[in-house]
Amino acid sequence: MADGQGILVIGELAGSELALVTREALSAARSLSGALGGEPVSLVIAGADLGDAPQQGISAGADTVYTVVSPVLEGTPPDAVVAVAERAAQVASPRYVIGSKTLLGRDVLPRVAFRLGTALAQDCATLEVDSQQRLVATRPVYGGSAIAKVACLQTPAVAALRPKSVEPLEPDASRIGEIKTLDIQLDDSVVKARVVDRTERPSEGIRLEDAKVVVSGGRGLGGPEGFEPLKDLASLIGGAVGASRAVCDAGWLPSSYQVGLTGKTVTPDLYIAVGISGASQHMAGCSSARAIVAINKDAGANIFKEARFGVVGDWQKVLPAFIDQLHELLQ
């Protein structure tokens, strides 16, 4: 595939819908396509039931959608997805292969890169094309303490895009593209490991990843009881509650609340950090917020270097006054 053309996106499903992370990857692919003079963008999606996902893929930016429907793909076993993605790459012969750094992507993309005889650029925050038409990625290194810029020297270049790092395109129902069934035979022998049980934790309110406002707390809150006023504030302004890794490690909140390099990446309009020092690992998950407001009693805390607005003081005094003021403004 040394002379490949275009970009192949390895897609994911959310039920029988196209996952948001795949729409983000398609948006990145369209940007790369423009830099390459309009090279085609293709998408591969596989599952036991695709629903309207293929057409959604075209509306989201794909020119061609390769589909595989099989009972073997029930539960999206990574082994089967790797086989499908490899076959799609053989058919499409792309210049670049892009996926998302999700639980599935972390398992699939390194194996796809190996099968294609190339390397993987992992956890990419941005993707661009250089003067030699090589894929260039920026990615955090050393726990988020620095940003590395790497060029992919082999073709096809394979990259895992960090979720929430790219804005998805608005769906365009007028776009025209092809939907093709991929020629591949799958049977149960392909699958070496399956998910045998799944426990879903019911969520309340707005999903952390989708929230326009996030109120996060750190170890400075002193304990789980410190998150009650944060929940009140989030409820008041239509936001979601997040936390630092130290909070989740201490068991104050479940890991699903964690924002950071090893947690969730959020891109809200407003990020309020209470009692969070601003370690690079945490900032890697929220640095794309449009505005960061920090409340911390340590004037030298790193969070103030990142914040647009900051209050140096005891959160137990600052936060109640802030909430009271909001109540007055919202009356």
Which residues have C-beta within 8 Å of that of residue 324, sequence separation ≥ 6? Answer: none
Cα–Cα distance for residue pair 144/123, rounded to 1 Å = 11
Residues 165, 54 within the same domain: yes
Residues 23, 160 within the same domain: yes
Cα–Cα distance for residue pair 121/101, rounded to 1 Å = 10
More confident: 36 or 199 = 36
CA distances (Å), origin 88, targets 47, 112, 133, 163: 14, 11, 22, 23
Does residue 121 contact residue 139 with C-beta atoms inside 8 Å?
A: yes
Q: What is the pLDDT of residue 247?
A: 96
Cα–Cα distance for residue pair 164/207, rounded to 1 Å = 13
Q: Does residue 120 sit in helix, strand or coil?
A: strand
CATH number, residue 177:
3.40.50.620
Residues 214, 143 within the same domain: no
Q: Does the residue 199 lie in any domain?
A: no
Q: What is the pLDDT of residue 164?
A: 86
* Band of pLDDT at residue 44, cut at 50, 70 and 90: very high
Residues 307, 184 within the same domain: no
Handedness of CA 175, 63, 127, 210 (dihedral sign): positive
**Of 144, 160, 190, which marks where a domain is finished?**
190
Q: Does the residue 201 lie in any domain?
A: no
Residues 247, 305 within the same domain: yes
Q: Does the residue 180 lie in any domain?
A: yes
Q: What is the pLDDT of residue 15?
A: 85
Is it the case that residue 1 has pLDDT exceeding 60? no
What is the domain range of residue 18?
7-190
Rounded average pLDDT over 110-122: 95
Cα–Cα distance for residue pair 291/314, rounded to 1 Å = 21
Is it the case that residue 170 has pLDDT exceeding 50? yes
Residues 164, 221 within the same domain: no
Q: Does the residue 2 lie in any domain?
A: no
Q: Does the residue 77 lie in any domain?
A: yes
Cα–Cα distance for residue pair 106/101, rounded to 1 Å = 6
Does residue 32 contact residue 7 with C-beta atoms inside 8 Å?
A: yes
Residues 321, 225 within the same domain: yes
Residues 178, 247 within the same domain: no
Report the range of poorest mean pLDDT among 96-105, 171-180, 189-198: 189-198
Cα–Cα distance for residue pair 188/170, rounded to 1 Å = 38
- What pTM did the predictor assign? 0.83
CATH number, residue 284:
3.40.50.1220
Q: Does the residue 165 lie in any domain?
A: yes
> pLDDT tens across 258-316, in order?
999 888 889 899 999 999 999 988 998 888 889 999 999 999 999 999 999 999 999 99
Residues 149, 81 within the same domain: yes
Phi, psi of 267 (to 5 degrees): -135, 60
Residues 220, 177 within the same domain: no
Residues 134, 216 within the same domain: no
Distance of CA 54 to the CA centre of its chain: 21
Residues 170, 82 within the same domain: yes
Is it the case that residue 2 has pLDDT exceeding 60? no
Which residues have C-beta within 8 Å of that of residue 233, sequence separation ≥ 6? Answer: 215, 239, 272, 319, 322, 323, 326
Q: Which of 256, 317, 259, 328 is nearest to 287 (CA)?
A: 259
**Of 164, 190, 216, which marks where a domain is finished?**
190
Strand partners, 310: 294
Q: Does the residue 25 lie in any domain?
A: yes
Rounded average pLDDT over 153-179: 93
Strands (E), 218-312: 240-243, 270-274, 291-296, 309-312
**Of 163, 190, 217, which marks where a domain is finished?**
190
More confident: 95 or 146 = 95
Domains: count for the chain:
2
Q: Does the residue 200 lie in any domain?
A: no
Rounded average pLDDT over 90-118: 95
